[in-house]
Amino acid sequence: MSIAAYLKDVGRGAEGARALSTAAAHDALGQLLDGRAGELETGAFLMAMRMKGETLDEIIGFLQAVHDRCVKVPAARPVVLIPSYNGSRKLPNLTPLLAMWLAREGLDVIVHGPLADPSRVTSAAILADLGILPVAQLAEIEEGWSRRKPAFVPTGVLCPPLQRLLDMRQRIGLRGPGHTVAKMLNPVVGVPTLRLVNHTHPEFGALMSAWAQREAVDAMLLRGTEGEPVADARRQPRIDTWLAGMPCPECSLPAQEGVLAELPLLPRANDAASTALYVQEVLSGMRPVPPAVARQAALIVSATTALRSRAPVLEKRA
């Protein structure tokens, strides 16, 4: 079916738009990713979906379309997948700290996202200042893991068509379905993976919980810090972990209540160099790790330990 037919469904405004089936969403986004839709139609579809909002069936179809076009990353042990697509504007971006901490604990970690953002401090920039350069070849991932380092894999390496779709944001000024499913990617094959998925609005958090349950995925869901999947260093957010689509209470935490008694020591500036220096000082023991980040890391270690005891055949690819 042509993209025009799908536009007639989703482009009727917030009240009149009709949701796509999983199969239709898979086909529609596949056309965009493959360049079979023109720029005008692509922009129109992205804007229409932004106005309508995504349903669970649509998100599942969109994610399948992206997975069809992703490279496959082999692994021998469970992997922690950390999507980093927002960066930071005001607060220090502590996603690299979480990734480095987990890798030092012996976990295999992949951070994926854009190489640069003109208006934000990206994890790619901070990790580069820490000596962790973007992966160009898949073999470099295993090399980093062998040295207890996280691997940063640019979206353009994982899925070039998805990166081209994400780049449309610079032209139309809006996020689209590609930004939603980028945070849900799982390119790893052969072993279970724990995906860290952040949300900003409670409604989207509920949608992600429904996705984890229906697709039987392993995922840690939390309200992100400026859109990054790392616990807010100032206040412990609620963390919900799902393993094989089932809630894992021992790997979850309620949100911190009450008035903050003490703020953690954070770098005064949030640029890449200042944040990288702060990460080095925390890892070396010169500064304390923010308690909320330490608790999140402990939950991830616990969840990954549970994944290691599970036969890989039980993992369902979403």
Give the tens place of pLDDT for each residue, 273-288: 999 999 999 999 999 9
Structural domain of 9:
3-68
- Decide if pLDDT at 318 tops 90: no
Handedness of CA 131, 135, 136, 142 (dihedral sign): positive
Distance, in Å, from the CA atom of 29 to the CA atom of 159, rounded to the nearest integer, reads 14
Q: Is 136 found in the same domain as 50?
A: no
User: Between the CA atoms of 265, 271, 272 and 274, what dihedral angle is there, to the nearest 10 degrees?
Assistant: -40
What are 7-33's pLDDT values in tens digits? Answer: 888 877 667 788 999 999 999 999 999
Average pLDDT, the chain: 91
CATH code assigned at 249: 3.40.1030.10
Do residue 260 and residue 141 come from a single domain? yes
**CA within 13 Å, CB half, 123:** 30
What pLDDT sits at residue 317? 37
Give this prediction's pTM.
Answer: 0.93
- Does 34 lie in the same domain as 130? no
- Residues 203 and 102 placed together within one structural domain of the fold: yes
Q: E-strand spans in the chain? A: 73-74, 79-83, 108-113, 151-154, 188-189, 193-199, 219-223, 239-243, 246-247
In DSSP terms, 199 is beta-bridged to: 223
Same structural domain, 47 and 177 = no
Cα distance between the two ends of the chain:
24
Q: Domain boundary residue among 23, 40, 68?
A: 68
Residue 205 reports pLDDT greater than 50: yes
Dihedral, CA atoms, 83, 129, 139, 115, nearest 10 degrees? 50
Listed residues 68, 86, 118: the one ending a domain: 68
User: Could you identify the residue written with the tokens 């944001």?
Assistant: 169
CA atoms within 13 A on the CB side of 22: 9
Length of the chain, please?
A: 318
Asked if 38 and 111 sit in the same domain, the reply is: no
Indicate if 199 and 93 belong to the same structural domain: yes
Domain count along the chain:
2
- CA 128 – CA 25 distance, rounded (Å): 36
* R_g of the chain computed on alpha carbons: 19
- Which phi and psi (to 5°) does residue 139 adopt? -60, -25
Show the CA angle centred on residue 147, arms to residues 272 and 189, nearest 5°.
95
Cβ–Cβ < 8 Å for 89, 119: yes
Structure tokens belonging to residue 287: 């500064």
> Do 21 and 166 reside in the same domain of the chain?
no
pLDDT score, position 243: 97
Among the candidates 53, 68, 83, a domain finishes at 68
Which is more confidently placed, 256 or 239?
Answer: 239
| Pair of tokens at residue 274 | 């200042």
Whether residues 159 and 218 share a domain: the answer is yes
- The verdict on 24 and 80 lying in the same domain is no
Residue range 220-247: mean pLDDT, rounded: 94
User: In this structure, are 8 and 129 located in the same domain?
Assistant: no
- Select from 117, 147, 116 the least CA-distant residue to 132: 147
Residue 256: predicted pLDDT: 84
Query: What are 79's strand-pairing partners?
Result: 108, 193
- pLDDT at residue 200 is higher than 90: no
* Domain CATH for 57: 1.20.970.10
Predicted pLDDT of residue 260? 54
Do residues 140 and 23 both lie within one domain?
no
